[in-house]
Amino acid sequence: MSVKYIPIIWNPFKTKYDVIFALFVVLYLTGFISISMYLYPQLIIDTIIIRSFGTLAILILHIILAIGPLSRINKSFLPILYNRRHLGVSMFLIVSVHAVYSIIFFHGYGVNNPLYNLFTANTHYESLTFFPFQILGFFAYLILMVMAFTSHDFWLNFLSPKVWKAMHMIVYIAYGLVIMHVVLGIIQYENSPILFSLLFLGLVTILSLHIISGYKEYKFDKKKSITDHMGWVYVCTPNEIDENCAKMVTIDGERIAVFKYGNKLSAVHNVCKHQNGPLGEGKIVDGCITCPWHGYQYLPDKGRAPEPFTELLATYELKLIGDKIYVNPKAFPEGTAIEPTTIPSEETKLDTDFFIGWLGKIPNSYQSTLRFFVPSLFIISILLIVIISNSTNKIRFSSYDYYKTLSFEGELLLKPFPMLRVLEMDKNRNPKVVLYPLVNEGKFGADQSVQAFLSQYPNEKRVFVQIQAKIIERDGQVAMELMNKKNNIKKIKFNASITPLVFGKPKDTIMKGQIIDPKCYLGVMNPGEGKPHRSCAINCIKGGIMPAFITENSQAKNYYILIGNDGKKVNNAILFAVAEPIEIKGKVQKIDNWNLLYIDAKASIKRLSYPIDSNYNCGLFQH
């Protein structure tokens, strides 16, 4: 309790609590990132950061949701409940890294605003297989944001405890959205029964704990009341109440807490005005009823907080008939002082253990449980890191060094797509011409850059240049990312050793595979394919990066740059089918080490409602 609002009311216990939690966070992130980098050196750090913070946030969310019912089942967990608000705010900060990084990484650096792209890139709301799972995560994030921003007692007082508590119950909506976000996202893509089982185990654990604690409360509230001829309700006998503790009774759906202190009895409404904590599970400390959740206090005979605090409780009359305590079911107005009922003096029992956060002392009876529970969380987190890391199946062997720029010389062409044709040596040391598709930094094609440079030499049929670029490579297929700086492309002298581009004979074909953006697929992102990458791939192709089609069998993987039958770009026309299993019909034409696939975007593509093979498995659900 505090007279004024301050950001955090620190005490030794909170400090110790937060230090342990900070160690837990550091251990998890360090372990996840280190093991991921060791197992998958080809995995880019961006993906590792997104996954490490995302999985940590889910783990903490499960801990937060489990603490409430655990503390109802076993009071030893009350010390963890006391500072749960810090867990919630910390979890929001952790999930913010995951959410903001994901939005920028997958939806930023393109032609559209990242948030606009989030809602418009993938619009398959009618399909579980292709559902835009990232939107579910976005709305869960908004809910967690509201809860984090309103976690302070200022908002509790401003909104009223009833409204505040009801608003914070929407955490369960956020939890459901998170579960669906994960199931329809990375679990569906990875198609790993282990990952699905872990998430299912977490869901079952949370549901089970709430059902057990809820049933315990239900049984108590459904006890049949015994009344006397005046309608007063029987509570218990005085010796059934431990010293400085309470016995509760339910009347018309409301609980009343009857406290015994010394040879006195007083009854108040059971609900704490702070966060609706159960006062009847608390204890009288320093003459005040003390809430077991956060230590708010009330005078038992007056139904009000000690000055200068102003919280009030409804009070009730008690009477003693023989050795039986009865309570008048009619409540007095909040803050009404009622003379305590006196009981015969009896032998004082030893005080029962009770935890008060601001005192900072954990009772001995609680410590054994916590000494088992807290280290267990650390061990579970380590096991989760190992299991999750080893259950990741869709990490590809690709490479992209953001910090390494190389110099290349060759023929620069704009059509049929931006490319650099370079003279290299094959395995037998014979010269050969190799074609490298060109893209710009961010999610943009190189058309404008190449066209702007070539327009300076309108009378030259062939232009040879030196460029500065980064290599993107996967499966022996290579593309280049041009540097976005002045004089990045320089004209050099004619090289007769590089023969003119020759187009092979077109051949009709029908194939099954998926449309990808070659920049991300070849290595700028990993994984750079499938449902998790769909929105990003659409963003890249919208920005002018040439769309490519890949098909794979047991012998080889083949790449095809998609071109319209008229030789023009088809980027906007094929967006509806990006990163989905499709059947495509067209004409294949060989150019150097790449293939062109000429299509009629409207008539050539048939969307498939089933996975093609293990490489394009869409996961748990199908149309």
- Examine residue 142 and state whether it is found in any structural domain, yes or no: yes
Instruction: Read off the tokens for 435.
Output: 């074609």
pTM equals 0.85
**What was the pLDDT predicted at 349?**
59
**What was the pLDDT predicted at 615?**
45
Quick check: 612 pLDDT over 70? no
CB contact at 8 A, 269 and 258? no
More reliable by pLDDT, 11 or 569: 569
Looking from the CA of 540 toward its CB, the CA atoms found within 13 Å total 28
The four Cα atoms 175, 178, 179, 181 give a dihedral, to 10 degrees, of 160
Quick check: 619 pLDDT over 80? no
Please name the residues in contact with 57: beta carbons below 8 A apart, sequence gap of 6 or more: 91, 94, 95, 98
User: What's the domain range around 513?
Assistant: 507-616
Question: Per-residue pLDDT tens for 236-251?
Answer: 999 899 899 999 999 9
198 and 298 in a common domain: no
Instruction: Read off the tokens for 393.
Output: 């199946």
Render 343-400 in DSSP notation, one character per residue. ----PPPPPPP---TTT-PPPHHHHHHHHHHHHHHHHHHHHHHHHHHHT------EEE
Domain with residue 420: its CATH number is 2.40.50
Domain with residue 541: its CATH number is 2.40.50.110
Could you count the other beta carbons within 10 Å of the beta carbon of residue 180? 16
Number of domains in the chain: 4
Tokens 């057990």 label which residue? 212
CA triple 473-477-481, angle to 5 deg: 50
Span 28-53, average pLDDT: 93
163 and 75 in a common domain: yes
- Examine residue 369 and state whether it is found in any structural domain, yes or no: yes
Give, for 416, the enclosing helix (H) or strand (E): none
CB contact at 8 A, 127 and 168? no
574 and 465 in a common domain: no
- Asked which of 151-160, 269-278, 380-389, 580-589 is least confident by mean pLDDT, the reply is 151-160
**What was the pLDDT predicted at 82?**
78
Quick check: 223 pLDDT over 60? yes
Question: Per-residue pLDDT tens for 174-218?
Answer: 999 999 999 999 888 888 899 999 999 999 999 999 999 999 888
**What was the pLDDT predicted at 9?**
65
Question: Per-residue pLDDT tens for 324-340?
Answer: 999 999 999 999 999 99
In sign, the C-alpha dihedral spanning 95, 101, 106, 108 is: positive
| Domain boundary residue, one of 371, 390, 409 | 390
**What was the pLDDT predicted at 618?**
37
CA-CA distance, 194 to 192, in Å (whole number)? 5
Quick check: 11 pLDDT over 80? no
What percent of the chain is modeled with pLDDT above 90?
65
Q: How far is CA 247 from CA 221, 250, 262, 352, in A?
A: 13, 10, 15, 14
CA-CA distance, 88 to 76, in Å (whole number)? 20
**What was the pLDDT predicted at 8?**
61
CB contact at 8 A, 521 and 394? no
More reliable by pLDDT, 157 or 89: 89
**What was the pLDDT predicted at 617?**
40
- Examine residue 612 and state whether it is found in any structural domain, yes or no: yes
406 and 377 in a common domain: no
List the helix and strand counts (H, then E) for the chain.
Answer: 16, 24
CA triple 504-507-509, angle to 5 deg: 140
Q: For helices 45-73 and 193-221, give the axis angle rounded to 10 degrees.
A: 20
